[in-house]
Amino acid sequence: MNVKPRQNDNFKNFLPYLVLICVVLVVIFALNMQGTKVNELSTGELITELKEDNVTEITVTPKSDESIYYIEGKLEGYSSTEIFSAKAIGSEVDNILALIDANEVEEYDTNSDPGGSVFLYILVNVLPLVLLVVAMYFLFMKLASTNKNSMDFGRSKARLSNENDKKSFKDVAGLKEEKEEVEELIDFLKNPKKFEKMGARIPKGVLLVGPPGTGKTLLAKAIAGEANVPFFFISGSDFVELFVGVGASRVRDMFKEAKRNAPCLIFIDEIDAVGRQRGTGLGGGHDEREQTLNQLLTEMDGFGENEGIIIIAATNRPDVLDPALLRPGRFDRQVTVSLPDANEREAILKVHAKNKIINKDVNLNNLSLRTPGFSGADLENLLNEAALLAVRRNKNSITMDEIDEATDRVLLGPAKTTRKITDKEKKLVSIHEAGHAVIGLKLEDAQEVHKITIIPRGMAGGYTMMLPKEEKIAVHTKDELLAQITGLLGGRVSEEMFLQEISTGASDDIKRATRIARSMVTEYGMSELGPVQYEEKSEGVFLGRDYTKSKNFSDQVALEIDQQTRKIIEECYEKAKKIIKDNKDLIFKLSDALMEYETITKEQIESIVKTGKIKPVDDEAEEKEEKPKNKKAKLSDTEEK
């Protein structure tokens, strides 16, 4: 679509060029005037020249109010840039005019009196000044428009949410305990006298802590919507600027504006950008950020009172925040917004599925069980990817095919179906993934196998989707961790046992297995070294996450840690060898199925385990059709009776 520019914009764009042209013309005119040589002649000298017929060009300009005539012209022998100038008064003019007529000067002109024409006077004297003033005005206006915020850098960037963006607890699926924690804030904002009567002090600040995408910002919006109060929101990075003191000025201005609208809520997203610990890290502190933090601490709980203002902040790095920010009186309460469980995931999926056309065969309950570890943002992205795939495939609704593909895309990226894979590489990947799957099928504490594919996605040549049989919050037993290590090593064992070679495809599996084994030794106390924590993650505030680990042990203990880690890996490796050796036939059956179908699901895997082959689709369809027929036959028998 072509958009025509506005005439005002065209004029503003053309104005600088117009001013430049005028300046160039004035310069040229001035240079020409400076290059012209003017010879002053007296009246007698001019009359003598006229009598001798030396005048080749003459111009007479009268001045009526003083009866004075200005005369300019050229004499014989003058160059092109040389003229004469004379002034005649009274009767002298008549003599000069008579001589001009007698000599018949070829170029003779008598100008009118410029003082007698008002228009000419304005044109010559006033118009240039007006044009200069107008040009300067537009130039300054354009300069001011480009730097309109240059003098406004000390103002707060907190924005007031509009009515169209108002949320409520109905829009927040799950988070039952989190909602209960913040209901007091809503009650206080609605009825503060009830708390004042009891002598209770409502928390001045609430810190929402949790992984990205769990709904911290949405929960803050819902609090403001439920309380029906003004909601100011700002990011922590909006405070920090190049100049020291700007952030502190913005904090003061933000609280000043909030006091005018009290009672109200202020939401600071990613507060760790401005609230990091002071005076730590390499290279000293950051003066601007520290002054901004000092001002924020003073405003929240300093000498002044901020009644009716509640601060809600969100972060996924509470460990880097300054202790003064977390003390009672500032952020009195911390609410942990964790990843949703199966029931909460189902509720979140129902919320995001409202505006989408979902096929009847899609069971959101089953989908919630297949997505452990997904945040609310991940689930929303999953359904959105499924909707995009349905549109791309010209379908009328979102089916399980699109949801399965969307799940894989969210986890690993799009499938690389156009990549050419050799039969040898395909066989290696199928044997590798079959090894993972057999460990999951035969080891008691292993995770459940839901899907196997050898289609490349992202950096993976294939993968085996294994999900926990029962969803747990954060507690894992030693047997479960050993089963995870054994399952991770199953692919490498399968390659070595059946192909007599090993590949780089197991590098990530080995990395994850080693990390779990070392954590069992140094953090969880699950080795012969006893229940002692030897390593502790030290997440430097300015050095980055997991940059260093504090080591509270000697070199001798370090050797023992390495030996215990290697021992766990070797024992799991031997266990994987035994399981895969005992299930050699199942390995090849799964590998052959992957070579033929490339992707097999949980139902197809169970069919291979039970019957040795994948049940054809036609047989499944016939079974589904026979069930209603048998039901109908039983009903007819009942009717006969």
Angle between helix axes 584-597 and 478-498 (nearest 10 degrees) is: 80
The span from the CA of 396 to the CA of 434, in Å, is 36
Q: How do beta strands 159-160 and 599-601 pair?
A: unpaired
**Amino acid, res. 216:** K
The span from the CA of 599 to the CA of 34, in Å, is 91
Q: What is residue 330's DSSP assignment?
A: T
Please, how many CA atoms are within 13 Å of residue 335, restricted to the half-sphere of its CB?
Answer: 26
Q: Is 433 labeled as catalytic in the residue annotation?
A: yes
Picking from 130, 112, 136, 115, the residue whose alpha carbon sits closest to that of residue 59 is 112
Length reported for the chain: 641
3-state SS record for 358-416: ECCCCCHHHHHHCCCCCCHHHHHHHHHHHHHHHHHCCCCCECHHHHHHHHHHHHHCCEC
Catalytic: which of 178, 402, 433, 495?
433
Gap between the terminal Cα atoms of the chain: 75
> CA-based angle 330:334:337, to the nearest 5?
145
Q: What is residue 281's DSSP assignment?
A: S
Place of tokens 């002598």: 199
Q: Is 5 helix (H, G, I), strand (E, B) or coil?
A: coil
Contact 88, 69 (CB under 8 A): yes
The span from the CA of 534 to the CA of 549, in Å, is 10
Task: List C-alpha distances in Å: 27 to 17, 21, 33, 187.
Answer: 15, 10, 10, 75
Picking from 324, 343, 356, the residue whose alpha carbon sits closest to that of residue 174 is 343
Q: What is residue 355's DSSP assignment?
A: T
Rg (CA), the chain: 44
The encoded tokens of residue 362 equal: 């899609």
Backbone angles phi, psi at 86, to 5 degrees: -145, 165
List active site positions.
433
